[in-house]
């Protein structure tokens, strides 16, 4: 599927994973430019779609793309973690399917004004998915204490050279405020030993700061559990992740909800009362095909986990 705004990833696998039903109600919690939503609405099934995105630009683009299906969808400029409010406004109680694409969109990466990419030298340090929020990457880089920056880079970026990078940032920001992606990339690269440098060695630092700015991991587990509780029996949830931190959370939640009674086998009867809530459709995450990875390198890190409500 061609899409100048955002190229949706693993569309075929997502549609198969959702196992769309006629008259079904589906929630695309991260609608982006509407690529996955369009595929759902154009599937041939008579479905209703609720779309959510924090990015007002994405909502505007998706509304245009989905126009042929007017009356079959409603889009909300909101955070998917506020799904309770959105579903109430949409008049939906239970869902037949949920999609969470936790990556940032191609448009956000490529738009220099958004400041997401370490490849955009003159881009401002912004990284906000919702441009109405106050916290920006510039504030994180220039105003967070060194100890907190180290914690972010270590935890969210899994950056082995976090200590050296933070020392460099703290030293340089004392001289002059760091305001562009190019400057942050330059400081990051000079902090990494030459033999470990690469064209993408700033990626982990940028990822960590982006996660902090947008609170990407905060409340993710609780949100997953809540969305799963909204699924009808037989309803499906598909989650696309793009880094290990997200994938671990999704994997843990799915595995816990897949467990039945956890009492010791020596117990004659169950006393824990735990019952399986999910069936895992794929025990190992699906990844993009070689063809898709060749056409869209950004799909290389994608992992798709699918589960069905019992």
Last residue of a domain, one of 174, 190, 214: 214
| Whether residue 229 sits in one domain with residue 163 | no
Confidence of residue 110 (pLDDT cuts 50, 70, 90): low
| 4: in domain | no
Tell me, yes or no, whether 149 and 290 share the same domain.
Answer: no
pLDDT on residue 188: 95
CATH number for the domain harbouring residue 195: 1.10.150.170
The 10s digit of each residue's pLDDT in 52-77 is 999 998 999 999 999 999 999 999 99
Within a domain: 73: yes
Hey, what are 179's tokens?
């305001």
Distance from chain centroid for Cα 68? 27
Domain of residue 275 covers: 11-102+217-309
Query: Structural domain tally of the chain?
Result: 2
284 vs 238: CA distance, rounded Å = 13
In a domain, 91, yes or no: yes
Are residue 208 and residue 223 in the same domain, yes or no? no
Do 207 and 118 share a domain, yes or no?
Answer: yes
The verdict on residue 15 lying in a domain is yes
Residues 228 and 305 in one domain: yes
Question: Is residue 107 in some structural domain?
Answer: no
Indicate whether 90 and 180 sit together in one domain. Answer: no
The model's pTM is 0.87
Tokens representing residue 164 in the block:
């050296």
Q: Quick check: helix, strand or coil at residue 147?
A: helix
Each residue of 113-166: pLDDT tens digit? 676 777 677 899 999 988 889 999 999 999 999 999 999 999 999 999 999 999
* Of the residues 190, 214, 238, the one at which a domain ends: 214
Confirm whether 192 is domain-assigned: yes
Q: Are residues 134 and 272 in the same domain?
A: no
Neighbours of 275 (CB within 10 A): 11
Compute the Cα dihedral for 293, 296, 302, 306 and give only its sign. negative
Identify whether 1 is part of a domain: no
**6 belongs to a structural domain:** no
Do 162 and 39 have their domain in common?
no
């Amino acid at each position: 599927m061609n899409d100048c705004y955002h190229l949706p990833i693993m569309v075929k696998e997502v549609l198969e994973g959702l196992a769309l039903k006629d008259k079904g109600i589906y929630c695309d919690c991260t609608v982006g430019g509407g690529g996955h939503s369009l595929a759902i609405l154009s599937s041939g099934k008579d479905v209703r779609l609720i779309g959510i995105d924090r990015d007002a630009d994405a909502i505007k683009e998706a509304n245009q793309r989905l126009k042929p299906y007017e009356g079959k969808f409603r889009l909300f400029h909101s955070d998917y973690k506020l799904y309770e409010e959105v579903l109430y406004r949409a008049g939906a109680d239970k869902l037949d399917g949920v999609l969470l694409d936790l990556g940032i969109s191609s448009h956000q990466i490529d738009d220099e004004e958004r400041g997401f990419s370490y490849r955009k030298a003159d881009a401002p340090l912004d990284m906000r998915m919702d441009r109405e929020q106050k916290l920006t990457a510039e504030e994180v880089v220039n105003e967070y204490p060194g100890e907190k920056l180290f914690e972010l880079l270590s935890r969210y970026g899994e950056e082995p050279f976090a200590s050296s990078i933070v020392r460099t940032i703290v030293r340089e920001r004392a001289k002059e405020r760091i305001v562009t992606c190019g400057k942050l990339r330059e400081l990051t690269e000079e902090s990494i030993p030459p033999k470990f440098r690469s064209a993408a060695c700033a990626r982990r630092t940028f990822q960590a700061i982006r996660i902090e700015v947008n609170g990407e991991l905060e409340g993710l587990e609780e949100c997953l559990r809540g969305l799963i509780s909204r699924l009808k029996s037989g309803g499906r949830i598909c989650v696309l992740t793009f880094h290990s931190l997200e994938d671990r959370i999704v994997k843990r939640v799915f595995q816990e909800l897949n467990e039945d009674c956890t009492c010791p086998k020596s117990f004659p009867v169950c006393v824990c009362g735990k019952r399986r809530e999910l069936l895992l459709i794929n025990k190992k995450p699906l990844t993009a095909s070689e063809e898709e990875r060749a056409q869209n390198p950004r799909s290389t890190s994608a992992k798709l986990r699918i589960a069905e409500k019992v």
